[in-house]
Amino acid sequence: AGFGDRRTYTLSRGNSSEVCYAWRSRIKYVDVEVFDQLCRQVYYKLGYLPANSEKDLRNLHLSLKFEKQYIT
- List the alpha helices (DSSP H) in the chain: 16-20, 23-26, 29-38, 40-46, 54-58
Quote the CA–CA distance of 29 and 48 in Å, as a whole number: 17
Q: Is residue 14 part of a domain?
A: no
Q: Is residue 42 part of a domain?
A: yes
- Percent of the chain whose predicted confidence (pLDDT) is above 90: 60
Enter the DSSP assignment of 18. Answer: H
Number of domains into which the chain is organized: 1
Q: Is residue 45 part of a domain?
A: yes
Residues forming a β-bridge with 8: none
Q: Which domain holds residue 41?
A: 28-72
Tens-digit pLDDT profile for residues 26-46:
999 999 999 999 999 999 999
Looking at residue 51, its pLDDT comes to 96
Q: Is residue 43 part of a domain?
A: yes
Nearby residues of 21 by Cβ (< 8 Å), 6 or more positions away: 60
Q: Is residue 53 part of a domain?
A: yes
Q: Is residue 13 part of a domain?
A: no
Q: Is residue 21 part of a domain?
A: no
